[in-house]
């Protein structure tokens, strides 16, 4: 981001703004996943941990199998998701991602990412959209199953203190601040003792 669209990001730099918005979307998913999965990602007391304790006799695997699709099902059933829009409104920075994967392959000696061309990124994104469309059509149908088998999910999805939707939103805003600080000042101002974004601190 800093190499391709150096800060400060200008008002007329539409492509840079779109790329930053995409990165913030990725960041949202990263931090939400961290607090949702809890101990599976190295965070304390995540939503799946609590579900395991409350509904699955501390069995993390069973809780994970129920909560991951169950959470999507409940959200698809209870919340308006039409804002996600059709694929012609999606933006995927395929060329930028190709360059990121290329750098990753060199940095981590991981040849798999060399094959992540812009064309493949776009194809995979289209497949993800088809999957998302399928979720919108069918996950809500699964609502009765999860509402019957996992009352903790229904009762706490929104307000659970660590991994509920409100907490995810709070953590996301904080994480965005860290990402923007990195963009403006570089990664040298940041510390992250593990690969978990939950512990990222930029100042």
Q: Model confidence at 5, in pLDDT bands (50, 70, 90)?
A: very high
Give the pLDDT confidence of 141-150 residue by residue, as tens digits: 778 877 777 7
pLDDT higher than 70, residue 92: yes
β-pair partners for 201:
191
Joined together, the tokens standing for residue 86 give: 């059709």
pLDDT for res 73? 84
75, pLDDT greater than 90: no
Domain extent, residue 180, equals 14-202
- Does residue 159 belong to any structural domain of this protein? yes
Query: Angle 165-185/14-37 helices, nearest 10 degrees?
Result: 140
In a domain, 4, yes or no: no
- For the segment 180-201, the average pLDDT, to the nearest whole number, is 92
| Beta carbons within 8 Å of 161's beta carbon, 6+ residues apart | 167
Does residue 44 register a pLDDT over 80?
no
Q: How many domains, the chain?
A: 1
Q: Torsion angle of alpha carbons 4, 7, 9, 15, nearest 10°?
A: 10
According to the model, what pLDDT value does residue 195 have? 82
Mean pLDDT, rounded, of the chain:
89
Q: What is the pTM of this model?
A: 0.88
pLDDT band for position 47 (50/70/90)? very high
Residue 89 resides in a domain: yes
Per-residue pLDDT band at 202 (split at 50, 70, 90): very high
In the numeric block, which tokens belong to residue 37?
């999965």
- What distances in angstroms separate CA 87 from CA 8, 11, 28, 92, 131, one per listed residue? 30, 26, 20, 10, 12
Per-residue model confidence (pLDDT) at position 147: 75
Residue 136 is predicted with a pLDDT of 72
Would residue 105 count as lying in a domain? yes
Please answer whether residues 127 and 121 qualify as being in contact, where contact means their C-beta atoms are separated by less than 8 angstroms.
no
């Amino acid at each position: 981001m800093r190499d391709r669209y150096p800060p400060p990001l200008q008002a007329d730099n539409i492509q840079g703004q779109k790329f930053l918005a995409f990165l913030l979307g990725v960041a949202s998913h990263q931090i939400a996943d961290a607090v949702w999965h809890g101990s599976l990602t190295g965070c304390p007391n995540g939503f799946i941990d609590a579900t395991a304790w409350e509904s699955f006799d501390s069995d993390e695997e069973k809780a994970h199998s129920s909560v991951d699709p169950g959470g999507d099902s409940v959200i698809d059933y209870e919340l308006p998701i039409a804002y996600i829009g059709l694929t012609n409104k999606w933006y995927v920075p395929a060329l930028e991602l190709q360059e990121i994967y290329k750098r990753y392959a060199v940095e981590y000696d991981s040849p798999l990412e060399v094959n992540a061309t812009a064309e493949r990124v776009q194809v995979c994104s289209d497949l993800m959209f088809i999957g998302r469309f399928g979720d919108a059509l069918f996950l809500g149908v699964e609502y009765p199953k999860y509402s019957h088998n996992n009352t903790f999910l229904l009762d706490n999805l929104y307000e659970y203190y660590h991994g509920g939707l409100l907490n995810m939103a709070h953590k996301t805003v904080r994480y965005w601040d860290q990402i923007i600080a990195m963009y403006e000042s570089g990664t040298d101002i940041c510390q992250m003792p593990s690969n978990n974004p939950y512990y990222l601190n930029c100042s």
